[in-house]
Protein backbone atom coordinates (compact mmCIF):
# COMPACT_ATOMS: atom_id res chain seq x y z
CA UNK A 1 0.00 0.00 0.00
CA UNK A 2 1.45 3.35 -1.03
CA UNK A 3 1.04 6.22 1.37
CA UNK A 4 0.40 9.37 -0.64
CA UNK A 5 0.50 11.66 2.37
CA UNK A 6 3.84 13.41 2.50
CA UNK A 7 4.51 14.19 6.14
CA UNK A 8 5.91 17.63 6.82
CA UNK A 9 7.25 17.09 10.31
CA UNK A 10 10.21 14.82 10.39
CA UNK A 11 13.38 14.48 12.33
CA UNK A 12 16.60 12.56 12.03
CA UNK A 13 17.26 10.16 14.88
CA UNK A 14 20.52 8.27 15.34
CA UNK A 15 21.19 5.36 17.64
CA UNK A 16 24.84 5.97 18.45
CA UNK A 17 27.49 3.22 18.54
CA UNK A 18 27.37 2.81 22.35
CA UNK A 19 23.70 1.80 22.28
CA UNK A 20 23.68 -0.42 19.20
CA UNK A 21 24.55 -3.72 20.78
CA UNK A 22 22.40 -3.74 23.89
CA UNK A 23 19.62 -1.18 23.43
CA UNK A 24 18.78 -0.87 19.75
CA UNK A 25 15.68 -3.07 19.77
CA UNK A 26 14.26 -1.47 22.89
CA UNK A 27 14.81 2.02 21.46
CA UNK A 28 13.14 1.07 18.16
CA UNK A 29 10.17 -0.45 19.97
CA UNK A 30 9.80 2.61 22.13
CA UNK A 31 9.95 4.93 19.11
CA UNK A 32 7.13 3.02 17.43
CA UNK A 33 5.21 2.73 20.70
CA UNK A 34 5.18 6.52 21.00
CA UNK A 35 3.46 6.82 17.63
CA UNK A 36 6.36 7.81 15.39
CA UNK A 37 6.44 6.39 11.87
CA UNK A 38 9.87 5.17 10.90
CA UNK A 39 9.97 6.21 7.25
CA UNK A 40 13.63 5.50 6.57
CA UNK A 41 16.09 3.35 8.40
CA UNK A 42 19.63 2.21 7.74
CA UNK A 43 22.61 0.92 9.60
CA UNK A 44 25.84 2.74 8.73
CA UNK A 45 29.41 2.92 9.90
CA UNK A 46 30.25 6.59 9.50
CA UNK A 47 33.63 7.47 8.02
CA UNK A 48 35.66 10.07 9.87
CA UNK A 49 34.85 12.57 7.11
CA UNK A 50 31.13 11.91 7.41
CA UNK A 51 31.17 12.19 11.19
CA UNK A 52 33.06 15.49 10.93
CA UNK A 53 30.54 16.81 8.43
CA UNK A 54 27.58 15.53 10.43
CA UNK A 55 28.71 17.40 13.56
CA UNK A 56 30.37 20.34 11.75
CA UNK A 57 28.50 22.82 13.98
CA UNK A 58 30.70 21.58 16.85
CA UNK A 59 34.02 21.86 14.97
CA UNK A 60 35.45 24.38 17.44
CA UNK A 61 34.34 22.60 20.61
CA UNK A 62 36.97 20.98 22.83
CA UNK A 63 35.17 17.63 22.59
CA UNK A 64 34.99 17.58 18.76
CA UNK A 65 37.75 15.05 18.03
CA UNK A 66 36.50 12.69 20.75
CA UNK A 67 32.97 13.02 19.38
CA UNK A 68 34.09 12.16 15.83
CA UNK A 69 36.16 9.22 17.09
CA UNK A 70 33.20 7.90 19.07
CA UNK A 71 30.68 8.27 16.24
CA UNK A 72 32.74 6.20 13.82
CA UNK A 73 33.87 3.49 16.20
CA UNK A 74 31.05 1.15 15.12
CA UNK A 75 27.70 1.02 13.39
CA UNK A 76 25.00 3.64 13.94
CA UNK A 77 21.31 3.27 13.14
CA UNK A 78 19.98 6.21 11.13
CA UNK A 79 16.25 6.83 11.22
CA UNK A 80 13.85 9.32 9.76
CA UNK A 81 10.95 9.71 12.18
CA UNK A 82 7.71 11.33 11.27
CA UNK A 83 5.03 12.62 13.59
CA UNK A 84 3.51 15.93 14.53
CA UNK A 85 6.15 17.84 16.50
CA UNK A 86 8.67 15.15 15.61
CA UNK A 87 11.70 17.30 16.45
CA UNK A 88 10.55 18.26 19.94
CA UNK A 89 9.02 14.91 20.81
CA UNK A 90 12.11 12.94 19.86
CA UNK A 91 14.34 15.39 21.80
CA UNK A 92 12.07 14.91 24.81
CA UNK A 93 12.33 11.13 24.51
CA UNK A 94 16.13 11.41 24.37
CA UNK A 95 16.47 13.65 27.42
CA UNK A 96 19.26 16.14 28.16
CA UNK A 97 22.75 15.71 26.65
CA UNK A 98 24.28 14.82 30.02
CA UNK A 99 22.83 11.62 31.51
CA UNK A 100 23.48 12.86 35.06
CA UNK A 101 21.15 15.75 34.35
CA UNK A 102 18.76 13.43 32.53
CA UNK A 103 18.51 11.17 35.60
CA UNK A 104 17.43 14.18 37.66
CA UNK A 105 15.04 15.87 35.27
CA UNK A 106 13.71 13.06 33.07
CA UNK A 107 14.46 9.61 34.49
CA UNK A 108 12.30 7.89 31.85
CA UNK A 109 14.34 9.34 28.99
CA UNK A 110 16.60 7.19 26.84
CA UNK A 111 19.76 8.99 27.94
CA UNK A 112 18.86 8.67 31.63
CA UNK A 113 18.45 4.93 31.17
CA UNK A 114 21.18 4.05 28.68
CA UNK A 115 23.87 6.73 28.42
CA UNK A 116 27.22 6.28 30.16
CA UNK A 117 28.32 9.92 30.14
CA UNK A 118 27.90 13.26 28.35
CA UNK A 119 29.87 12.05 25.29
CA UNK A 120 28.61 8.46 25.05
CA UNK A 121 24.97 9.37 25.23
CA UNK A 122 23.24 6.75 23.06
CA UNK A 123 21.08 8.84 20.75
CA UNK A 124 21.07 11.91 18.52
CA UNK A 125 18.17 14.06 17.44
CA UNK A 126 17.95 17.09 15.18
CA UNK A 127 17.53 20.34 17.09
CA UNK A 128 15.25 22.09 14.56
CA UNK A 129 13.18 21.30 11.48
CA UNK A 130 15.75 23.01 9.28
CA UNK A 131 18.54 20.94 10.81
CA UNK A 132 16.45 17.83 10.37
CA UNK A 133 15.99 18.40 6.63
CA UNK A 134 19.67 19.20 6.18
CA UNK A 135 20.85 16.08 8.03
CA UNK A 136 18.24 13.82 6.40
CA UNK A 137 19.52 14.90 2.96
CA UNK A 138 23.09 14.37 4.10
CA UNK A 139 22.45 10.84 5.36
CA UNK A 140 19.80 9.58 2.97
CA UNK A 141 20.12 11.83 -0.08
CA UNK A 142 17.07 13.68 -1.31
CA UNK A 143 14.02 11.69 -0.33
CA UNK A 144 11.03 12.67 -2.40
CA UNK A 145 8.83 9.78 -1.32
CA UNK A 146 8.66 8.26 2.14
CA UNK A 147 7.52 4.66 2.02
CA UNK A 148 6.44 3.25 5.34
CA UNK A 149 8.76 0.54 6.54
CA UNK A 150 7.48 -2.86 7.55
CA UNK A 151 8.75 -4.44 10.75
CA UNK A 152 11.52 -6.34 8.95
CA UNK A 153 12.90 -3.14 7.49
CA UNK A 154 11.62 -3.64 3.94
CA UNK A 155 9.71 -0.81 2.30
CA UNK A 156 6.06 -1.39 1.47
CA UNK A 157 6.22 -0.22 -2.12
Residues annotated as part of the active site: 124
Half-sphere exposure of 48 (CA within 13 A, CB side): 4
Q: 32 with 38: CB under 8 angstroms?
A: yes
- For the packed helices 86-94 and 129-140, what is the interaxial angle rounded to 10 degrees? 80
Site string for ligand RTP, 106-145 (x = CB under 6 A): ------------xx-x--xx-x------------------
Q: Does 6 bind ligand RTP (CB under 6 A)?
A: no
Q: How far apart are CA 145 and CA 3, in angstroms?
A: 9
Q: Does 3 bind ligand RTP (CB under 6 A)?
A: no
Least distance from ligand RTP to the Cβ atom of residue 125, Å:
5
Q: How far apart are CA 45 and CA 107, in angstroms?
A: 30
Q: How far apart are CA 147 and CA 56, in angstroms?
A: 29
Least distance from ligand RTP to the Cβ atom of residue 66, Å:
7
Least distance from ligand RTP to the Cβ atom of residue 155, Å:
26
Task: Output the known binding site.
Answer: 16, 63, 91, 97, 111, 121
The contact set with ligand RTP (CB under 6 A) reads 58, 63, 67, 97, 118-119, 121, 124-125, 127
Amino acid sequence: EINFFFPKKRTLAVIKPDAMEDHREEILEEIRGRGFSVTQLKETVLSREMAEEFYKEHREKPFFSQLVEFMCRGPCMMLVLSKENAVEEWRAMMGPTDPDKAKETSPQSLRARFAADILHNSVHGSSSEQHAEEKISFIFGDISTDAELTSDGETDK
